[in-house]
Amino acid sequence: MTPPDRTLAQAQDVVLGLLGQPAEIERLSTGGRNSRIYRVRAGDRQFALKQYPSRKDDPRNRLATEVGALKLMERYRIDTVPRVVGVDEDRGFSLLSWIEGTAVGDLADADLDAAAGFLTSVHELRTTSWAKEQPFAAEACLSGAEIERQIGERLARLRHIPDEPDLRDFLDATFTPAFEAGIAAAKTDIKAAGLDFTADLPQEWQTLVPSDFGFHNSLRCQDGSLAFVDFEYFGWDDPVKLTADILLHPGRVLTAPQRRRFRQAAEWLYREDRSFAPRLNAYIRLFGLRWVLILLNEFIPERWQRRLLAGATESWTEAKAGQLSRAKEFLAGLPAKVED
C-alpha cells in the first residue's frame, strides 16, 4: 500500500484555509531547486501554491521576501510577475496567481530586451516610498572584499566535507589557484579604475534587484512574451552582481552575442553610476568563481535535503558526481565568458 503523501495533505489544508473551498492540487516536477510548487484548480480558477524551505534549515525568510517583492511590484503596476493571493506564514506557503506558460527555450534578441526592460522597471522602484522596506538581497555583494569573503567561506565549508577525495582534489589543485589569481587581478583592475576594493558601494548606486534572476526563472506566455517568477532573494544590492549572474548563470547559458547584447543593455541601464562598467570588468570573474562553488552545493547535506524537498529524484551519489563535472566544465569555460 502506498503511504499517504503528508506534504500533499498539508498543501490541500493550506489551500482550503486560504480559498475557503477545496481544490484539486497537483505537485509540479518543474518547480525550483529549493522550493516545492503545486498547481491548484478551484472551479474555473487556477493558482500556484509555493512551499518554502523551513526556517530551521534556512534562516532567511524567503516567503516574506518574495511576498514583499511581489506586492511592491503590484503596487507599481509591474504586470509580468505573479500576484499574491494569500499567505500561510505559519506553515510556509504562498498562494500566487497562475501564469500559463512554458519553460523558455531558444532566446531571441527580443527576450534579452524584455529582461532588460523588466530590470529597468525594478530599478525605478528604488526611489519609491516602499523601497526602503525591502531587505538586502540574499548574499548581497557591495564590495570586492565581500565577494572574496563569500567565496572563501564557501570554499572552507566544502573543504571540510569528509570522505570526498575527488572534491578535495579539485578544490586544492584547480579551484584555489584560479581563486588566488582572480582576486589578484580584481584588486589590480579596481585600483586602476580609482576604486577601493574594500569599500561598500554607496547607497546612491545600490538598487533593488531580483537576485537569481534570469531566463531559468522565466516563462514563455502564450502570446510569446515573458513572465518572471521566483523572487525569494529580492532586495538591495550592487547591480554588478545581478548583471554578472545573468551573464554567467549555469542554469541558462547565453551565447557570446547574447552576453554582449545584455551587457550593453545593463551598462546603459546603470549608466548614471560611472563606476558600474569598471566594477563589472573587475569583478565578473570573481562572480564566475562563486558560481563554481554554488554548483557544488549538492555536497552539503542540508542543501541536498532542500533538493529532495523540491523533488529531486536522482541518488545523492549521482547528483554529486554530476555537479562536480559541471563545476569543472564551468571553470574551464569561464575565461571565454568573461572576456566577451
Q: Residue 49: which CATH number?
A: 3.30.200.20
3-class DSSP assignment, residue 186: helix
Q: Residue 300: which CATH number?
A: 3.90.1200.10
| Mean pLDDT rounded to a whole number for the chain | 92
Is residue 78, in this structure, part of any structural domain at all?
yes
Confidence (pLDDT) at 305: 76
Q: Give the CA distances from residue 267 to residues 94, 217, 280, 333, in Å, rounded to whole numbers and listed in that order.
A: 35, 22, 9, 24
Is residue 140, in this structure, part of any structural domain at all?
yes
Q: What does the pLDDT look like over 220-254, one tens digit per residue?
A: 999 999 999 999 999 999 999 999 999 999 988 89
319 and 197 within one domain: yes
Domain end among 79, 98, 117: 98
DSSP-assigned letters across all residues of 25-57: EEE-TTS-SSSEEEEEEETTEEEEEEEPPPTTT
142 and 91 within one domain: no
24 and 141 within one domain: no
Q: What does the pLDDT look like over 155-207, one tens digit per residue?
A: 999 999 999 999 999 999 999 999 999 999 999 999 999 999 999 999 999 99
150 and 50 within one domain: no
Residue 54 backbone phi and psi in degrees, to 5: -60, 145
71 and 182 within one domain: no
Contact 235, 208 (CB under 8 A): yes
CA pair distance 214, 120, nearest whole angstrom: 14
Contact 158, 171 (CB under 8 A): yes
Q: What does the pLDDT look like over 245-294, one tens digit per residue?
A: 999 999 888 999 999 999 999 999 999 999 999 999 999 999 999 999 99
311 and 187 within one domain: yes
Count of structural domains, the chain: 2
107 and 68 within one domain: no
Give the list of residues 6+ apart from residue 196 with CB closer than 8 angstroms, or none. Answer: 143, 190
DSSP-assigned letters across all residues of 8-29: HHHHHHHHHHHHSS--EEEE-T
Domain end among 40, 72, 98: 98
Confidence (pLDDT) at 3: 43
**Containing structural domain, residue 17:** 6-98
